[in-house]
Amino acid sequence: QKEVEQNSGPLSVPEGAIASLNCTYSDRGSQSFFWYRQYSGKSPELIMSIYSNGDKEDGRFTAQLNKASQYVSLLIRDSQPSDSATYLCAVGTHTGRRALTFGSGTRLQVQP
Amino acid sequence: EADIYQTPRYLVIGTGKKITLECSQTMGHDKMYWYQQDPGMELHLIHYSYGVNSTEKGDLSSESTVSRIRTEHFPLTLESARPSHTSQYLCASSEQESSYEQYFGPGTRLTVT
């Protein structure tokens, strides 16, 4: 079992719809959770961070965390073609190696 | 906003050559990382550093080496490049005592012929 799991996609949504991206993690000691966006051929860009259970909203993006279920999600409202990218979930533990563990990413396609 | 730089951005080099990929950051971050990523594939951590004179190997076995003599500089060296080293190399940094938010440089795309 991978430490951080994501559906590889592609997830295809029409323009204006809500895109829902999901991520599960295996280490119950994880304390920091991040979503990165990566356009093809570019480096990952941090778009959301969340540290406590519940929802965190930033513009069109909402991150949701449920530590009991070991589940993180990212909602993108009013999806735009420019949101088409691969979204990477990353999880951090504050013990041991103290580095982020990345999922393999979900490719999102927003259809005009 | 992170200021992290990588040079060169693109490199095509022949087999057997020694190469050094440069990574610098101006935020004073203690932690720095090197990742390898093939097109459409996941990130693999190959090296990391918690600070000056601290380096560790990551999850993916790599024939590369790193050094951390200055806080802002974390170069990666391949003593003898091979076609199997063809990939994108991404450098990242984060603050030591923060929440582990990592910021990435623009990457170096390496092709070994």
Considering CB atoms only, which of A31, A49, A102 is closest to B42?
Answer: A102
Interface A-B: count of C-beta contacts within 8 A: 48
**Contact by Cβ (8 Å): A110, A81:** yes
Q: Which of residues 14-33 of B touch A (CB under 8 A)?
A: 31, 33
The alpha carbon of residue B103 is apart from the nearest alpha carbon of chain A, in Å, by 7
CA–CA gap between residue B24 and residue A99 (Å, rounded): 19
A91-105, B11-25, B58-72: the lowest-pLDDT one: A91-105
Residue B74 at interface with chain A, using a CB cutoff of 8 Å: no
Per-residue pLDDT tens digits for A13-23: 999 999 999 99
Which long-range contacts does B65-71 make (Cβ < 8 Å, 24+ apart)? B66/B34, B68/B32, B71/B28, B71/B29, B71/B30
Under the banding of pLDDT at 50, 70 and 90, the label for residue B101 is confident
Query: Can you give the pLDDT at residue B60?
Result: 78
Q: What is the mean pLDDT of residues B37-55?
A: 91
Query: Can you give the pLDDT at residue A96?
Result: 65
Which residues is B23 bridged to in the sheet? B6
Token pair recorded at residue B55:
């380096």
* Residue of B60 and A77 predicted with greater confidence: A77
Query: How far, CA to CA in Å, does A105 sit from each of A22, A86, B70, B78?
Result: 10, 6, 33, 28
Query: Can you give the pLDDT at residue A107?
Result: 97
Low-confidence ranges of chain A (pLDDT < 50): none
> In chain B, how long is the greatest CA-to-CA distance?
42
Query: What percent helix, strand, coil does chain B show, rounded to 5?
Result: 5, 50, 50
Considering CB atoms only, which of B42, B50, B102 is closest to A105?
Answer: B42
pLDDT(B1) > 80: no
Nearest CA in chain B to A98: B100
Amino acid identity for residue A92 in this structure: G
Query: Can you give the pLDDT at residue B113?
Result: 96
Under the banding of pLDDT at 50, 70 and 90, the label for residue B99 is low
What does the H/E/C string look like for B81-110? Answer: CCHHHCEEEEEEEECCCCCCCCEECCCEEE
A32 CB neighbours in chain B (<8 A) are: 99-101
Considering CB atoms only, which of B42, B101, B106 is closest to A43?
Answer: B106
Query: From the candidates A6, A36, A100, which should be mutated to test the interface with B, based on the most B CB atoms within 10 A?
Result: A100
- Average pLDDT of chain B? 92
Residue where the block lists tokens 């079992």: A1
Please name which of A49, A5, A32, A4 lies closest in space to residue A95, comparing C-alpha atoms.
Answer: A32
CA–CA gap between residue B63 and residue B28 (Å, rounded): 28
